[in-house]
Structure 1
Amino acid sequence: MSVRQTPLTCHGHTRPVVHLAFSAITESGYFVMSACKDGKPMLRQGDTGDWIGTFEGHKGAVWGVALNRDGTKAATGAADFSAKIWDAMSGTEIHSFQHNHIVKSVCFNSNGTQLATGSNEKLIRIFDLERPDADALKMAGHESNLRHCAFFGDKCVVSCSDDKTLRLWDINSAQAVRKLEFPCVVEDIQVCYATRILTLTYGNIVAFWDLDTMTLIKEFKVPTQVHSASLKPDQSIFVCGGEDFKIYKYDYNSGVELDAFKGHFGPVHCVRFSPDAELYASGSEDGTLRLWQTNVGKNYGLWKCVQGTVAENGKGSDLSDLN
């Protein structure tokens, strides 16, 4: 008999959760950060979902979040035309970068010395965090609003936009070196440094591309409009979610659907594997962040505890058997 999936439900947001990001594994474990239209991004312990803190300061919906590798700094991009850098330990704002339109995406480079932002100005900006008052490098070429941008190494950035293209940028020349066109908007991208694979979603397709050659490796159809997907680093499975409220798990090699978990009460906007791949997180229109076990039933994180509420004030996590 199969074991039921019992997600951890992280409450506290009051509007849709639209993006999330994990840190790497640190001496204190790892962390997960959520972006929400309520304008109050939250930081949590990654394996339990326990609330650590809320970053207060934006005056509009927060669309994108990022954590540096050791979880000491956080970045946010928001509808108040700003991207902010935060001390993730204290919640203090370190610097605010003003833009001329909504900032949809933020991303640190591998050593946390640069920040890339993508905005509705159709621009990608690269900020030097060691010289935050210096002018940003600007990369122009997209013909519509940016959706996401991500570093690939420290010399390249990959981006997707409402113009139905994906572009690879060389930071030294500030020029796009590759442009890929799609039949509809690419809604999500994720760079995996270990495998050098780019995961992307558009329409009802989850696709995997070789970032070194920018060639398609494989793609699969999903039974819904899919908003986000994440590939397990060992390339055994991938997970995705979209309009039908479900979280899907697929075999990466065969494309066979392994599971379809119910739980959210609204479309799934974002899904990502944790750095140890023991769980994956999802954020939804329903205002919750949920953590799901990769290997259901394994003694790990908060799943070691007795089922029930484990935090107070609506900001912690609870074990909800919603499958």
Structure 2
Amino acid sequence: MRQPVLTCLVAWLMCLCMALETSPLWAQEVQENTPQVPIPSVPPTEAILKVHAPLGVVITIDGNRFEGPTTFRFRDLVPNRRYHSMVTVSLQGKELANRILFILGGSQIEWAVPELQEAKLPFPPQTGHQLPVTSLDADQVGLRVITGSLDKTLAVWDVASGWKLSELRGHTQAISSVSMSSNGLRAVSGAGSNPFLPAEAFVWNLEDATILHKLKLEETVLTDVAISPDGKEVATGTEDGTVTIWDVDLGEIVRELSTVESPIQTLAFDHSATHLVATNAQGELFLWDRGSGDEGVSLEREPTAIEALAFHPIKNQLLISSQKGTLEVWNLGDGSLLQAMPKTPRPVHSVGFSPTGDRILVGSRDQEVYLLDADSGENIRTFRTGAYGPVTACFTGNDTFVTRGGSGIEASSIQRWRTIDGEQLDALVGRLKPVTGVAFQDGGNAFVTVDGQMWIWNPLWTKVRKIGTAGNWGYREGYLHPDGQTILGISQQLELWKSDGTELMQAMQPSDGKPKCLSWSPKRAQAFTGSEGGTFWNIASGEQAGRIFEHGASLDSADFDFSGDYLITGGHLEPEAFVWDVKTSSKQRILRGHTDGISSVRFDSSGGKAITGSLDGTAKVWDLTDGSELLSLEGHSGEVTAVAFDPLAKLVITGSEKGELFVWDANEGTLLREWHLHQGRIHSLSVHHEGRLVLTGSHDGTARLWDLYTGDELLQLLTTKSGEWLIVSPLGFVYGNDNAIPKLGWQWNPNKEESEIRSIPTKWLAPGLLPRLLSGERWLPSW
């Protein structure tokens, strides 16, 4: 760790700071003995600021310039009053960073210049698609797979490791089709099956996950897209029967190919990139020379609807599956029928050749996949995917393939299979699950994260504990008792566990379905679960203690006040929040003002105020003495999904569906700080009892720890279903259990140079990372 070089001179300055009440603030340079040992017992009228930066920096605090010192003492502070101080760090005349810091008496603040933080996560958060996968394609050798989803995103996967290499965002509609070049470096995606919205076709550079071109389509429905194997041209097909060829480098039209006025169903380039084929809804097939645009040979076949087709990778042949259920191989040299294969047991949905062309993969319209001999048509093996409905199958090399299909959870993942023995391999669903719940321990430094499993992170332990056996149901929320001995969580029921995971002490089953939300009263004698209605529970006996019925059959968020005598609830189907008397289960107050459903509710520490977050994009602060609206916090990009007060009720923290995290002044409603680092919805947030730290859980599969005073991100916390856990500092320090680093796809890279995933120098492995950061210290490299 760097040893700061400070001057021995003492310089005083007057800093006039913006605060809840503007007040003079004295700052003094101080000599520091050991930066690894926090200065003990900072008086409540003083605060210490350490700025971690290279030697030779100039630090400016509210207009006052310091050359040399990096540690300062603020004096004459009013206890429990928060001050704002603008700090700027410059080196050789160039500004490295500036930040508004929150100064509170009795605190020691460490700020590391963020521009010097070099470590990075080269892979995106390892979560799968949120909604069903609609299309997929693979490169020629089967190293990568690209998937498109109803969630409007695409993902590129490494087949061997299962890592998600990149996530492609930009479409405003559900993805309907996708095609990848043979080398896996280019792709085209289509979204535009809604006739009331403009169709979208994007060309992607997969090397850096960027959009090369947004193709300018006419006002029509887009039905399919294809990219040539060499990645130089793209074809689009539309509902009016038009096929258009585009230049990938320029994003401009090369030529338009007209067919009869019938919607294009399928487009494909042959593997030599010399021909383009299209089929339409009338069962007609059109073949063009890619270079000239002239029509190719005509196939003398009955005009029956074509379900699927595939070019042979080596020979000049085309495989066609018709609605009659037949598989036909055609010679594209003279248009003759070479082979008619036996019907498969179930109707065909997709077809494809292996890279060597000796086998055919057939996806059926109901669960099954067939591996056929390409010469004889004989069925070598049948695979039963369990995915009800149509199945799309695609080779990833000669020995493996992937499938898409089904409903529910399996529809949003890609299954992997081995051809030689029919074994199902790990699915492409991402290494991480969405973090739906986070909670600090009341009065302590431990905390809980929930991603289908409950994890206890305690700075006094050397390992992270995984609790519970919810299986496929998964846990949604969890809370640790202040004494650290028990943890309460919800899956398909309410469960009380010993915190060492050895015993399920209580299992309480609500009568109105799987719980959606949980709150544990401060005295821990009662809990509340919400579903279609709400249930109060006696934790000791496991019996119901009361019921409430509101929120249009969906109660999604609840919170006890500090006394445990009152409860606030909200649901996404109604724009009102309700305050309840716990003893009588009676409604005491209705909070009206939102224009859409409510996703999150919280009391302040006194019980006199509440905050609600809504699908209407606002958060509102309420006076509970009369139910009046005090503040409306606007500016979120989407739904407000998580809310909280700090312990002094001076700050409001809100999270959104876009991954934004905002900090607001709880009295004035002014925006004080914002972060945009999460790449998915913030499901949950929790504030440490001392008010400095915020913990967030997101759909991107990470939990993150933030410093409210400095605005720094302190940690990323990653966990997997198989038990790996990893702590990552933005400055490059890491700590985790065996195999966590390679399995989670994290790569240490402090100098922005390529590094092997396993080659992390010992000095960057930090077993004490969590407790030291929770104590306010920052681990820093030597500059």
Question: What band does the TM-score fall into relative to the shorter chain?
Answer: 0.7 to 0.9
> Deviation of residue 248 (structure 1)?
2.1
Asked whether 1:22 is paired with 2:440, we answer yes
Match of 2:559 in 1: 150
Cα 1:242/1:173, change in 2 over 3 Å: same
In the alignment of these two chains, the number of paired residues is 308
1:95 aligns with 2:506: yes
Shift, 1:58, TM fit: 1.0
Which one has more relative contact order, counting CA pairs under 8 Å at least 6 apart? 1
Give the Cα separation in 1 of the matches to 2:629 and 2:682.
25
Moved more, 177-186 or 219-228: 177-186
Does residue 1:264 correspond to 2:682, yes or no? no
Q: Is the 8 A contact 1:49 1:291 kept in 2?
A: no
Partner of 2:450: 35
Give SS of 2:686's match.
strand
Which of 534, 541, 562 aligns to 1:124? It is 534
Q: Percent identity?
A: 16
Partner of 1:219: 632
Deviations 1:21-49 (A, max 9, x none): 22112xxx42211222xx2121113x799
C-alpha displacement of 1:171? 2.6
C-alpha distance 289-68 of structure 1, shift in aligned 2 (>3 A)? same
8 Å CA contact 1:246, 1:260 repeated in 2: yes
TM-score scaled by length of structure 1: 0.82
Alignment correspondent of 2:737: 312
Residues 214-293 of structure 1 mapped to structure 2, 5 A cutoff: 214-225=627-638, 226-293=640-707
Contact 1:84 1:96 in 2 (8 A): yes
Which moved further from structure 2: 151-160 or 10-19?
10-19
SS of 1:163 mapped into structure 2:
coil
The one-letter amino acid paired with 1:284 is S
Conserved? CA contact 1:116–1:124, under 8 Å: yes
Question: Which of residues 517, 524, 536 in structure 2 aligns to 1:105?
Answer: 517
Query: Which of the pair is proportionally richer in strand?
Result: 1
Deviation at 1:309, TM superposition (A): 0.9
Distance in 2 separating the partners of 1:251 and 1:154: 26
Are 2:482 and 1:69 equivalent residues in the alignment? yes
CA shift in 2, pair 1:218/1:309, >3 Å? same
* 301-310 vs 233-242, greater mean Cα deviation: 301-310
The structure-2 alpha-carbon separation of the partners of 1:93 and 1:275, relative to structure 1 and needing over 3 Å to count, comes to same
Deviation at 1:311, TM superposition (A): 2.8
Q: Secondary structure at the match of 1:143?
A: helix
- Asked whether the 8 Å contact 1:146–1:160 carries over to 2, the reply is yes
* C-alpha contact 2:535 2:545 (8 A) present in aligned 1: yes
Alignment of 1:153-192 (within 5 A): 153-164=563-574, 165-181=576-592, 182-192=594-604
Provide TM-score, normalisation by structure 2.
Answer: 0.36
Contact 2:437 2:684 in 1 (8 A): yes
Measured in 2, the distance between the counterparts of 1:50 and 1:281 equals 20
Greater than 6 Å deviation, 4+ residue runs: 9-13, 47-50, 300-306, 315-319
Over residues 131-176 of structure 1, what are the superposed CA-to-partner deviations in whole Å (9 max), with x where a residue is unaligned?
A: 22x3442222332211012222333221111331311222332222
What CA deviation, in whole Å up to 9, does each residue of 1:63-89 have, x standing for no partner? 2222333333221112x3x11111224
Are the structure 2 counterparts of residues 93 and 237 from structure 1 closer, same or farther at C-alpha, using a change threshold of 3 Å? same
Which segment drifts farther, 92-101 or 256-265? 256-265
Q: How many Å separate the matches in 2 of 1:252 and 1:136?
A: 34
From the superposition, tell whether residues 212 and 52 of structure 1 become closer, same or farther in structure 2 (CA, over 3 Å): farther
Q: CA deviation at 1:303?
A: 11
Answer whether contact 1:65 1:107 (CA < 8 A) is retained.
no
Aligned residues of 2:602 and 2:612 also touching (Cα < 8 A): yes
| Cα distance change of structure 1 residues 94 and 44 upon mapping to structure 2, 3 Å threshold | same
Q: 1:92 to 1:222 in 2, by over 3 A?
A: farther
Deviation of 1:246 after TM superposition, in Å, equals 2.5
1:4 aligns with 2:4: no
Distance in 2 separating the partners of 1:200 and 1:95: 31
| Greater displacement, 56-65 / 273-282 | 56-65
Unpaired runs of at least 5, structure 2: 1-87, 89-97, 99-112, 128-430, 716-726, 742-766, 774-783
* 1:193 is aligned to 2:605: yes
2:70 is aligned to none
RMSD value, Cα: 3.6
